[in-house]
């Protein structure tokens, strides 16, 4: 934008402020709702706003999300063998993403400790 145009825009905003055009806006003086400041917030907001499915997200972001939801996902299993199979598959995908980083930000996490996750799952199932 040229300097002349910027000054014109600033002048129009200042005039609108003086005329009170922004005085009665909804939510004025209140904190913003649903303010997400975690890493990748802009991508989550954009994908939600534009109704982009998870399949369009970079693989590393999908893996991060899967790791963030690991406990809930694990709790969906009823058999230990199925959980172990899922965790082995997850580790294989993590290993591939760690060895051959592709699109998206780095994962910044290691492999899942399968025995530890199974023990935690078992403790939650049998308190």
For residue range 65-112, list pLDDT tens digits in order: 899 999 999 999 999 999 999 999 999 999 998 888 777 788 888 999
Residue 12 resides in a domain: no
Contact criterion met (CB below 8 Å) for 80 and 122: yes
- For residues 37-59, average pLDDT: 75
Residue 100 resides in a domain: yes
pLDDT reported for residue 74 = 96
Domain count, the chain: 1
Residue 87 resides in a domain: yes
Residue 69 resides in a domain: yes
Residue 95 resides in a domain: yes
The position carrying tokens 């400790």 is 113
pLDDT reported for residue 20 = 87
Residue 34 resides in a domain: no
Contact criterion met (CB below 8 Å) for 56 and 79: no
- pTM for the full model? 0.59
Residue 49 resides in a domain: no
Residue 114, pLDDT above cutoff 90: yes
Residue 24 resides in a domain: no
pLDDT reported for residue 2 = 61
pLDDT reported for residue 57 = 77
Q: How far apart are CA 81 and CA 86, in angstroms?
A: 9
The position carrying tokens 């600033």 is 10
Which domain, by its residues, includes 68? Answer: 57-127
| 110 or 46, which is more confident | 110
The backbone region for 40, taken as left when phi is positive above 0, alpha when psi lies in -120 to 50, beta otherwise, is left
């Amino acid at each position: 934008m040229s300097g002349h145009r910027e000054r014109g825009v600033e002048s129009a905003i200042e005039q609108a402020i003086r005329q009170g055009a922004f005085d009665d806006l909804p939510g004025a003086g209140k904190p913003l709702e649903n303010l997400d400041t975690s890493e990748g917030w802009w991508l989550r907001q954009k994908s939600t706003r534009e109704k982009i499915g998870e399949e369009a997200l970079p693989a590393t972001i999908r893996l991060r999300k899967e790791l963030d939801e690991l406990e809930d996902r694990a709790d969906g299993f009823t058999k230990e063998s199925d959980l172990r199979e899922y965790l082995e598959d997850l580790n294989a995908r993590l290993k591939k993403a760690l060895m051959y980083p592709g699109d998206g930000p780095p994962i910044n996490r290691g492999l899942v400790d399968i025995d530890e996750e199974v023990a935690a799952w078992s403790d939650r199932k049998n308190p």
